Amino acid sequence: MAVRTAEAAWDGTFREGKGRFEVGSGLVQGAYTAGTRFEEDPGTNPEELIGAAHAACFSMALTLDLEKAGASPRSVSTTARVHLDKGDAGFSITSIDLVTEAGVDGVDDAEFQRVAEGTRKNCPVSMALASVPVTLEATLLA
């Protein structure tokens, strides 16, 4: 199976420094700072990247799981909200909220919810992030 890579570098102090990252394909790259991560400065941060990976993985995995259940997905759209909070031990990702909408033929809402919940637990990124509580709000579109 494939091994995917990404790299990042940080220059300077924690507060005044800046970082940059790039995925192995070169298709995604960016810069980040303490301000983009812990405040509201414009730019990206590792938590957004985790959210993008989780939303992408979940959407693709849900499509496959729905097909395995005999349904015909037309579209799946997912948003991941990654919560970064400061506790006594420092900053940590405390939860992730997945919000998905799917246009699917051949499935009722009860079956859709059952399949989506299974995907929430078993998509590869969800499993990699198993130490973080993940909630799911799934809407079956007409």
Q: What is the pTM of this model?
A: 0.93
Superfamily (CATH H level) for 46-141: K homology (KH) domain (3.30.300.20)
Q: What is the pLDDT of residues 108-125, one digit of tens each?
A: 999 999 999 999 999 999
| Tokens 């494939």 belong to residue | 2
pLDDT tens-place string over residues 35-92? 999 999 999 999 999 999 999 999 999 999 999 999 999 999 999 999 999 999 999 9
DSSP β-ladder status, 134-141 and 18-23 = unpaired
Q: Where are the domains of the chain?
A: 6-38, 46-141
CB 129 within 8 A of CB 118: no
Q: Torsion angle, CA of 32/35/37/39, rounded to 10 degrees?
A: -160
